[in-house]
Chains A and B, each alone.
Chain A
Amino acid sequence: MDMLQFPANIAAAAGVNFAAIMPEVILSVIAMALLLVNVFINSEQKAYLGYLSLIGIVVTFFSVVSGWGAPQSGFNNSVLQDNFSLFFKGTFLVSAFLTILITDQYLKREECNWGEIYPLILFATVGMMLMASGTDLMTIFLGLEVLSVSLYVLAGFNRANLKSNEAGLKYFLLGAFSTGFLLYGMALIYGSTGTTRVAAIASYISQNGMVLSNPMLVAGMLLMAVGFSFKIAAAPFHMWTPDVYEGAPTPMTAFMSVGPKAAGFAAFLRVFIVALPAMKADWSELLWVLAVLTMTVGNITALKQTNIKRMLAYSSIAHAGYVLVGFTAGNAVGTAGVLFYMLSYAFMNIGAFAIIVLVGRKGEENNNVSDYAGFGFKHPVLGMCMSIFLFSLAGIPPAAGFIGKFYLFSGAIQAGYVWLAIIGVLNSAASVYYYLRVMVFMYMKDPTEEFDWLAVSPSLALCLLLSVAGVLIPGIVPGTLLDLAQKAILM
């Protein structure tokens, strides 16, 4: 663009293309509408906001589906809605949908039934979507900020609960800290390449090979890796995770452990694979170390947890490690594995959290593993659901978690990272211990006290049903989903 010429048509000069941001637009509009509706209804009717947001998510999902296969770029290449971002958007919508299904029951029990939670979840989803489709560092960064700010609030949403307050504050401080790293990294990349557009960075580097020796570029890459690692909770940048996950309201923990993590991976993948393929040798070394650390630290620490939310928090660190294995491989199989795994992880993890919401009592009580003693026989169907989720998390066939791990480790072996795959499966074997421990309590120990009668709300039952289907169907007939994941990685 000629700088001296004032653009005649601003819209054309800005490259406005609504097709490229349609899902984001729909969801934002619905979220804002919900804020308005919220004013006019009383506190008993807040659940309707939940239903409305579910409808909104379904509508957005249709928009995502209809965009499949027809990449749309817009706003002078600052967003690109391609199959890659659409697959991730699907994952985000699924996790938001499942989360909202379990939110209502929790809010009523904890007496913090404020309708603002639904718009916040939707705004967080918008932020995630922008991260997935952003092809400009600024878009990605702002998407991340929208997501993070929503999450800080969601983590501290249970105002009366001190632990929730702590979670919100901690998440805010460490989130802001990590954002600093990310932004600094982006600034250095901008400084050395003169652009924030992801594709332009790649072409600048390939045309000027000597920038590779520029330590500024390397430092930019490193700092961005640190920033993203905070977001996906990779060790050694995982310290915030357990406290935040334990303290946050349970449905929000479910949401945070799935959606934002997937969004972090989406942006991480996009920036590193599209913008910095020239430095693959460098960053895959780095990710190798990160993956091993993350898996091992997550699993070993999870082994000795007694609080189930905390245990799942550490386990989610370990799962980020498995996904990093596929990322490290960086090939088609590994990358598609990341996509497949994040989607299946959404189902199994939120499913498990749905049970935790159900078993928990007011004030975040009854969340210890030992509180599940006898649960499996007292509530056979719920127990079976929980077992399915836990087996899937442990990577036992025929659940989706197994196919996902299989996919990720195949990618690593194909790329020659045999040791990484071996460390991965050994970690996976170790992780089985703490998942089994929950089942040991559920089925092999006698209850210490009488179980309350558990009221399963219809929406929570729907969440369980969807999650079980989402774990078992891709586990037994993964064909379609694998196909989609493979088509999605052609960035």
Chain B
Amino acid sequence: MGYDMTGFPFLTILIFLPLATGLCLLPVWNCRPDLWRPVALAGAIAELGVACLCWPAAAAPAKGAPAGFFLFEDYPWIAEFGIRYTLGMDGLSLLLVILTAFVTLIAMLASWRPVIDRVPLHYLLILAMESGIMGVFLSLDLFLFYLFWELMLIPMFFLIGIWGHGRRIYSAIKFFLFTLAGSLLMLLAIITLYLIHGSQTGVYTFSLYGLIGTVVPHSTALWLYGAFLLAFAIKFPLFPLHTWLPDAHTDAPTAGSVILAGLLLKTGAYGLVRFGYPLFPAAAATLSPLLMVMAVTGILYASWIAFAQSDMKRLVAYSSVGHMGFVALGIAAWTPVALSGAILQMVNHGITTSAMFAMIGMLDERTGTREIDAYGNVWGKAPRLSFFFLFFAMASAGLPGLNNFVGEFLILTGSFKVSHLAVALAGIGVILPLVYTVRLIQELLFQEERRPLIIPDLTVTECGMVVVMACLDLYIGLHPGPLLDMLHSPVAILTGGAG
């Protein structure tokens, strides 16, 4: 593609378009309820459009940007501290940005009908969160990154707390405090790194590419990386820091679950790839066995626990912990193949799990329960819904030909060189999801009816939504080439000589 995109602030637009759309809702807050949903939806669609427009830009690197970045913006912000407004997009960011725009759209559609009270606030929060997540995926300045990292917590807190179910307040606060505690320690690590760099070179900067290569004594680096790892592992979430996730997922409204699973978990993995490893390569290498242990334990433990769940949402939440364990394994291996697999798996998990939560949301909306025991013979009542449920459950379990399989396969292949044992154990983790998924499907769709529930089939809108997601699953499963091509250069740069 030959058109020139330099100079046009795509990245700023990506970050602030959702927020601006959300603010557009304010004037029509009290009047025109018919405008709320269309305005929000239009914003989300426009955002997806802008995100897709960035794809062709990958052809040419941006001027003055670090290697691999094809869109880049850099302005001074708080000169006193050397804080700059630096945004950059490479293949890795691009995939996650598109994923963000897409999942947000799904989240909005998923809350189209269930959310009936305080609608404008609901959409405002979703849009604000989209802005925050975009910011996380695009920031190349550690301070800016931290800012967005915190910003995305606030809307999620309100989403869970206001529209959630069950122990929503407990879950919202737990979610907020868990993630905040981790990220505050990361903030201290960022400041320390900044001061070390400043005292060594005289240049005080928070810029990622300014700080990479700072000579930090290994013992200090371990502490600093440990703080980063803690923050990211909580977000990931890695065993044993995952306890906030099942609560938050179970009690969140559908849109909240979709965004939580589809996007927020990815920010932890992204942070590790973009900031953790490049800033402290030696410390990361030292601690990568720990990460690997956490990953493998998480995979096995989560599958085991998922097996015993009676609430569908909780089951999928635990399966998320397992899937993210695979991502962590791929990152811990830090070979080009494993890392590509891990990033691809992030995208896959984003799509598939969002779809799962959306489908559970639809069931919940129809029947008012998420207990597996309550259902039976859904296939007979709502065949279309059941078909897609089956489809996404299988994709989630890693059926070959669908997207998750590709990611898991790449991760395992890529990690094999690094640790046979971890791969062997994780291999078991590939099979376990199949067991509980099959159980879920069997009980839900095919067992005889246990309670006389009325389950209408999918509406046209819902059909459209799930068909798009299913197509994406299928496409990535059969033809992951373009995505892997996009990842090739950033992964090569990130892993450097390691591969």
> Which residue numbers of A lie inside 8 Å of B, CB to CB?
377, 380, 391, 396-398, 402, 406, 409-410, 413-414, 418, 421-422, 425-426, 428-429, 432-433, 436-437, 440, 443-445, 477-479, 482-483, 486
Contact = CB atoms under 8 A, between A and B. Distances in A.
25 contacts: A380-B29, A396-B154, A398-B151, A409-B188, A410-B81, A410-B195, A413-B192, A421-B191, A422-B185, A425-B184, A428-B184, A429-B177, A429-B184, A433-B173, A436-B157, A436-B176, A436-B177, A440-B169, A440-B172, A443-B158, A444-B172, A479-B78, A479-B79, A479-B80, A486-B80
A396 B150 contact: yes
Nearest to A432: B180
Interface in B124-166: 146-147, 150-151, 153-154, 157-158, 161-162
Nearest to A380: B29
A406 B154 CA distance: 19
Interface in B159-206: 161-162, 168-169, 172-173, 176-177, 180-181, 184-185, 187-188, 191-192, 194-195
A208 B150 CA distance: 52
Interface centre among B78, B154, B184, by most chain A C-beta atoms within 10 angstroms, is B184
Contacts of B185: 422, 425-426
A437 B177 CA distance: 12
Given A398-B147, A443-B161, A425 B187 contact: yes
Contacts, number: 81
A435 B146 CA distance: 21
A440 B173 contact: yes
A380 B162 CA distance: 14
Contacts of B162: 443-444
Interface string B267-279: 0000000000000
B272 to A, nearest CB: 21
Nearest to B149: A397
A421 B185 CA distance: 9
Contacts of B78: 477-479, 482
Contacts of B80: 478-479, 482-483, 486
Interface centre among B78, B118, B168, by most chain A C-beta atoms within 10 angstroms, is B78
Nearest to A443: B162
A414 B176 CA distance: 29
A376 to B, nearest CB: 9
Contact of B187 (A398, A406, A414): A406
A422 B147 CA distance: 19
B157 A409 contact: no
B191 A426 contact: no
Nearest to A483: B80
A444 B188 contact: no
Interface of B: 29, 77-81, 118, 146-147, 150-151, 153-154, 157-158, 161-162, 168-169, 172-173, 176-177, 180-181, 184-185, 187-188, 191-192, 194-195
A397 B177 contact: no
Given A443-B162, A479-B78, A479-B80, A418 B151 contact: no
A421 B188 contact: yes
A397 B147 contact: yes
Contacts of B153: 396
Given A397-B151, A421-B188, A428-B184, A433 B177 contact: yes
B161 A440 contact: yes
Given A410-B191, A421-B191, A479-B77, 10 more contacts: A396-B153, A396-B154, A397-B150, A414-B195, A418-B188, A425-B188, A429-B180, A432-B176, A436-B173, A477-B77
A432 B180 CA distance: 9
A436 B172 CA distance: 10
Contacts of B150: 396-397, 402
A437 B78 CA distance: 32
Contact of A397 (B146, B168, B194): B146
Interface centre among B80, B162, B177, by most chain A C-beta atoms within 10 angstroms, is B80
A421 B227 CA distance: 13
Contact of B169 (A422, A428, A444): A444
A413 B188 contact: yes
A487 B271 CA distance: 36
A444 to B, nearest CB: 4
A444 B176 CA distance: 15
Nearest to B153: A396
A388 B376 CA distance: 48
Nearest to B192: A413
A426 B181 contact: yes
A315 B78 CA distance: 29
A75 B191 CA distance: 43
Interface centre among A391, A421, A477, by most chain B C-beta atoms within 10 angstroms, is A421
A279 to B, nearest CB: 26
Contacts of B194: 410
The 5 closest A-B pairs by CB, nearest first: A425-B184, A482-B80, A429-B181, A444-B161, A397-B147
Contacts of B77: 477, 479
A377 B118 contact: yes
A413 B77 CA distance: 23
A413 B158 CA distance: 33
Nearest to A336: B80
Nearest to B173: A436
A343 to B, nearest CB: 15
Contacts of B158: 443
Nearest to B194: A410
B181 A413 contact: no
B306 to A, nearest CB: 29
Nearest to B185: A425
A468 to B, nearest CB: 15
A440 B192 CA distance: 34
Contacts of A445: 169
A409 to B, nearest CB: 7
A486 B195 CA distance: 17
Interface centre among A380, A429, A477, by most chain B C-beta atoms within 10 angstroms, is A429
A377 B158 CA distance: 13
A478 B478 CA distance: 50
Contacts of A422: 185, 188
B162 to A, nearest CB: 6
A391 B188 contact: no
Nearest to A428: B184
Contacts of A421: 188, 191
Contacts of A425: 184-185, 187-188
A482 B158 CA distance: 32
A330 to B, nearest CB: 16
A380 B173 CA distance: 21
Contacts of A436: 157, 173, 176-177
B193 to A, nearest CB: 10
Contacts of B79: 479
A418 B180 CA distance: 19
A437 B172 CA distance: 11
A414 B191 CA distance: 9
Contacts of B184: 425-426, 428-429
A277 B172 CA distance: 47
Contact of A413 (B118, B172, B191): B191
Contacts of A428: 184
Nearest to B157: A436
A384 B181 CA distance: 24
Contacts of B118: 377
A483 B195 CA distance: 19
A483 B80 CA distance: 7
A350 to B, nearest CB: 23
Contact of B191 (A398, A409, A479): A409
Contacts of A482: 78, 80-81
Nearest to B151: A397
Contacts of A433: 173, 177
